[in-house]
Homo-oligomer: A and B are copies of this chain.
Amino acid sequence: MIPTIQWSGKKVLMIDQRKIPAKLEWFSCRGYKDVIRGIKKMVIRGAPAIGVAAAMGLALGAASIRVKSYARFRKSFKRMAGEMSKARPTAVNLRWAVERMCLIVDSMADQPVDIIKNVLRQESENILEEDIDINRRIGQHGQKLIKSNVTILTHCNAGALATGGYGTALGVIRAAHEEGKNIAVIADETRPWLQGLRLTSFELMKDRIPVRVIADNAAGSLMRQARIDVVVTGADRIASNGDVANKIGTYQVAVLARENSIPFYVAAPLSTIDMTIKNGDMIPVEHRTPKEISHFNARLVGPKGVKALNPAFDITPAKYVTAIITEKGVIKPPYVSGMKKLFK
């Protein structure tokens, strides 16, 4: 697979996901503000990938701070970290990565600034490598839940492109495929941004895993016709009670899966779980520009002046989630106790 994000000398390169599959172009970040712009504009997206990007962005930012005093370095770094945290509100991995980078700065008060800068860069590389490793472990745990000769529905893109590599939901699918299981994937196209049509199909076709794309409207009907056996999605944030924030439309898929007695699995690293919040309704849901609905490729499709609502995420209550697949294993209900155990 094409790397989602990588260091190239003193720059961070992101594959520009707005342009896939029409073009494979790199978006080059020379400073942390470029990274923030890349996250906001969805050059890079997917909760774990955003976490990696935030870490790399802060390493870029740290490198640009031209002071020798630790105190002044720390102050500048914390300002950048604050900005980075706000790039997008829903995925908690962003904040998780920022906090991890801040901890390093806080723990190195006795070190020269140049050393801290090096450690920050190294840490951002560690976060990337760990993320890929975590995804492979999620895949290993998750594939045990996937039988052979099944059709799997996935929503949005929780693949290599949404992570450091390999993917969470698509990691489970890849691992099942690597185990030799005969599987086929149905990908929700995932309006408005079409991550399913553009990214998930692109990844799976490259891996020669059979995939067909559907309008999001068709998922329920296919479930009712018993043409879908299992659902696997990623997550942008999971509350301590197991409620899941994920791409808009996930809640619908989960309700329809339960209505049709189909298991609904969520695959995500521990960095996506937010133990500080009690339930999903406390998760901030980003609203993006209505133009994502009314326009296509910057061209108006609806009537002039048409109004649109564009929530980017929704909350799926834990009661619809059959299990959560993490790098430490599979958690089943009741989630409140299961989560606590996981973080011990």
Judging by beta carbons under 8 Å apart, are A302 and B221 in contact?
A: no
Judging by beta carbons under 8 Å apart, are B202 and A303 in contact?
A: yes
Query: Is A213 close to B, CB under 8 A?
Result: yes
Residue of B whose beta carbon sits closest to that of A317 = B224
CA distance A302 to B204 in the complex (A): 12
Most buried by B among A220, A302, A315: A302
Judging by beta carbons under 8 Å apart, are B217 and A294 in contact?
A: no
Residue of B whose beta carbon sits closest to that of A224 = B251
Q: How far is the CB of A140 from chain B (nearest CB, A)?
A: 28
Copies of this chain in the oligomer: 2
Q: How far is the CB of A99 from chain B (nearest CB, A)?
A: 28
Known A197-B306, A303-B201; judge A252-B256 contact (CB<8 A): yes
Query: Is A71 close to B, CB under 8 A?
Result: no
Out of B22, B205, B216, B218, which one reaches A217, CB within 8 Å? Answer: B216
CA distance A191 to B192 in the complex (A): 10
Within 8 A of B (CB), among A189-218: 189-192, 194, 197-198, 201-202, 205, 211-218
Judging by beta carbons under 8 Å apart, are B303 and A21 in contact?
A: yes
Out of B213, B219, B249, B251, which one reaches A307, CB within 8 Å? Answer: B213
Contacts of A190 in B (CB 8 A): 217
Residue of B whose beta carbon sits closest to that of A314 = B221
